[in-house]
Amino acid sequence: MRAYERLLKYVKVWTTSDGSSGKHPSADREFDLARILVKELQDMGIKAEVDDKCYVYAVIPATKGYEDKTSIGFIAHVDTVEEASGKDVKPIVHENYDGKPIVLKGRTIDPEVFPFLKKMVGETIITADGTTLLGADNKAGVAEIMTMAERIVNSDIPHGRICIGFTPDEEIGQGADFFDIKKFGADFAYTVDGDDAGGIEYENFNAASASIHIEGFSVHPGAAKGVLVNASNVAMEYDSLIPKNERPENTEGREGFYHVSHISGETATADISYILRDHDWDKLTEKKEMMQKAADIINKKYGEGTATVKIRDSYRNMIEMVKPHFHLIENARKATRAVGLEPIEKPVRGGTDGARLSWDGLPCPNLGTGGFNFHGEYELASAERMDKVVDIIINIIKLYSE
């Protein structure tokens, strides 16, 4: 079975994570795909299980005589983002893509807007129907790892121990929270969670989140002069103190940002949620300090306790943990060039489970999947590029078996 055929099946399973639930996994529906994957792995003759937190662990034992080779792992996540619906996904296969705009329900994927499509003429493109996201992030990676597993167990390719892991809740920053590295059993690993095939990512944002609570003073507006403190207005004033030129829409490359991810309020209280990102840890620290400085200005103006700030670190830049094991990148480059692609190496303006896992002791760079336009209804994947990713993964396994 080709990887995209698995993708068509997996995207129909609703696995949107729920950042407000406070549970682990955040949504029980994530188990639905996890259990399917365990059953498929077991049907291949591979030992696999899903634990009570929805982490899938599987292992393909080393070929006889290769037990001393490096144990390599591959990881993907089963959940999809909350920003666009992942329920009732209806995938569409566009065979032999002709380079023209792809017309879906209520929207068009236009090559003039997404120029990379001009390089995909003749390929098999998979989209949703326009009403939901596709779920290639990260079900393309899941499908590629599963396809690799099937090919390995049905071949005579010699290999060391191969470890497979599927995680929940990556999209809400909790994918590595309960991942058991010891149980997983790999010496090194790769997440398969990037975009174009040939992508090799080993530098990502340092990340934090900031929650700002504004406490106002509510009175009747007819008697408000000199008394009323409208929390919603104060929230907007707080945001005005944050550098506007450092918003995501004004940054690129290694430039960090402040991003309002949620805002709500009324007269009495208001809340703002930010995500803070920077490739440089010291600059991220400055951003965290900026959040408190803004609160100090608000509190000086309106009274102590008007604005309170809570900051939580999310993940670190993996490059510091990957550098001592740069064979991971060198072998990924060789594996990519062996399938006729030139490696695409760029800093990730985001993060992966691998960033957290690298700092937890499992060096874990990221590979591309052949998917594009993640986190929305314009998402798509290429069947041929997914095939290339499977070949890249198998080439990595071969390199670590030499």
CB contact at 8 A, 126 and 9: no
Query: Cα-atom radius of gyration of the chain, to the nearest Å?
Result: 23
Contacts 24+ apart (CB under 8 A), 118-123: 120/382, 121/97, 122/96, 122/97, 123/96, 123/97, 123/382, 123/383, 123/384, 123/385
Handedness of CA 322, 325, 326, 329 (dihedral sign): negative
Pairing of strands 307-315, 125-127: unpaired
Residue 196 is among the residues annotated as catalytic for this protein = no
Catalytic residue among 137, 150, 169, 170: 170
Q: Which amino acid does the sequence have at 271?
A: D
Q: Which of 168, 218, 193 is nearest to 53 (CA)?
A: 168
In whole angstroms, what is the distance from residue 102 CA to residue 369 CA?
21
Q: Which of 197, 193, 207, 183 is nearest to 78 (CA)?
A: 193
Q: For residues 307-343, b (16+ Cβ closer than 10 Å) or e, as one string?
A: bebebeebbbbbbebbeebeebbebbeebbeebebeb
Residue 170 is among the residues annotated as catalytic for this protein = yes
CB contact at 8 A, 370 and 388: yes
CB contact at 8 A, 26 and 144: no
In whole angstroms, what is the distance from residue 274 CA to residue 261 CA?
5
Question: In a 10 Å sphere around its CB, with 0-12 CB exposed, 13-18 middle and 19+ buried, how is residue 118 labelled?
Answer: exposed
Catalytic residue among 40, 79, 203, 278: 79
Cβ neighbours of residue 39 under 8 Å, at least 6 residues apart?
A: none
Pairing of strands 344-345, 199-201: parallel
Q: Which residues are catalytic?
A: 79, 170
